[in-house]
Amino acid sequence: MSQIVLHEVGLRDGLQMEKQVVPTAQKIAWGERLLASGVDILQLGSFVRPDRVPQMADTAELFQHFTQPGRKPASATLSGLVLNEKGLERGLECGVEMFCMGVSASETHSRKNTGMSIADATGRIIAMAQAAAAAGKRVQVSVQSAFGCGYEGPVPRERVLGIVRSFLDAGLRNLSLADTAGHGTPDAVEALYEAVFALAPGIDCACHFHDTYGLALANCYAARRAGVTHFEASVAGLGGCPFTAVAGGNTCTEDLVHALQRGGERREIDLAVLLDVAREVAACCGREMPGNVYRAGPIPEPAAAAGGS
Tell me, yes or no, whether 308 lies in a domain: no
Beta-carbon neighbour count of residue 32 at 10 Å?
Answer: 16
CA-to-CA distance for 81 and 14, rounded, in angstroms?
13
Tell me, yes or no, whether 309 lies in a domain: no
Q: What is the pTM of this model?
A: 0.94
How many structural domains does the chain have?
1
State the Rg of the chain over Cα: 18
| pLDDT tens column, 145-165 | 999 998 899 999 999 999 999
What is the CATH number for 131?
Answer: 3.20.20.70
Tell me, yes or no, whether 301 lies in a domain: no
Q: Is it the case that residue 213 has pLDDT exceeding 50?
A: yes
* Domain span at 244: 5-296
Task: Render the burial of 81-92: b for 16+ CB within 10 Å, e for the rest.
Answer: bbbbeebbebbb
Q: Is it the case that residue 234 has pLDDT exceeding 70?
A: yes
Known catalytic residues?
Answer: 241
Tell me, yes or no, whether 76 lies in a domain: yes
Tell me, yes or no, whether 181 lies in a domain: yes
- Please state the rounded mean pLDDT for residues 88-102: 97
Per-residue pLDDT band for 305 (boundaries 50, 70, 90) equals low
Q: Tabulate helix, strand, coil % of the chain (nearest 5).
A: 45, 15, 40
Helices and strands (H and E) in the chain: how many = 11, 8
Q: Is it the case that residue 241 has pLDDT exceeding 80?
A: no
Tell me, yes or no, whether 306 lies in a domain: no
Average pLDDT score over the chain: 93
Per-residue pLDDT band for 245 (boundaries 50, 70, 90) equals very low
For residues 227 and 193, the answer to whether their CB atoms sit within 8 Å is yes
Tell me, yes or no, whether 304 lies in a domain: no
Per-residue pLDDT band for 27 (boundaries 50, 70, 90) equals very high
Tell me, yes or no, whether 305 lies in a domain: no
- Please state the rounded mean pLDDT for residues 98-115: 90
272 to 75, 76, 289: CA distances (angstroms)? 20, 19, 17
